[in-house]
Amino acid sequence: MNWYIEIVETNPIITAMIQFAILGTLGDIISKWIIKKKFFLPFGVKVLMLKMTEWALLSIFVKYAFVGFHGFIDSLVVHNLLPDMNTAGYAFSVSVSMNLLFGPFLVVMHRFLENTIAGAKNWERIDKALLSLVWFWIPAHTITFMLPKPFQIGIAALLSIVLGLILGAYNRKGE
């Protein structure tokens, strides 16, 4: 694992882009597999490359948010606007602030990029996507933020697969 930590610490943005490009796109693919109940490549090569680019771009915002919201909570503690907390309380505080302040931007940006790639104007169920910040991402990121920093982006990218599974099952029920 030391090789992973060294690479992530030396190249934080590039490794975030690679992890999200692969795992975020895989989450999209798995979601389609679940909806259609079969294994197939749901996107052509061009769309697949665009989706990987989309996830890579989003990962830059995510990486900066992960670093920035740790600093945000640290500053609130230093200024006595939040109490000193144990690891779980600190992780929960970072997760809540990031998902409520930054999360809506990311959800809307993600949908905008998805629409751009698909050549569509699909804003259906954006409310459900925004609610996922509360029921999925706050608890998931709370756990993520309790891990050592070099593993946090990789785990967040893996969680994109988990959300793909959940959304695939949800959307399958809707059909």
Burial per residue of 9-18, b for 16 or more beta-carbon CB atoms within 10 angstroms, e otherwise: eeebeebbbb
What's this model's pTM, rounded to 2 decimal places? 0.92
Q: Looking at this protein, which amino acid is placed at residue 158?
A: L
Report the C-alpha gap between 116 and 47 in whole angstroms.
11
At residue 20, the pLDDT reads 98
Please count the residues of the chain.
Answer: 175
At residue 9, the pLDDT reads 97
At residue 4, the pLDDT reads 96
Report the C-alpha gap between 5 and 147 in whole angstroms.
13
Report the C-alpha gap between 117 and 157 in whole angstroms.
20
Share above pLDDT 70 across residues of the chain, in percent, rounded to a whole number? 98
Q: Looking at this protein, which amino acid is placed at residue 75?
A: S
C-beta separation of 10 from 156 below 8 A: no
- How confident is the model over 104-129, as pLDDT tens digits? 999 999 999 999 999 999 999 899 89
What residues make up the domain containing 19?
2-174
Work out how many domains the chain is built from and give that number.
1
- How confident is the model over 53-110, as pLDDT tens digits? 999 999 999 999 999 999 999 999 999 999 999 999 999 999 999 999 999 999 999 9
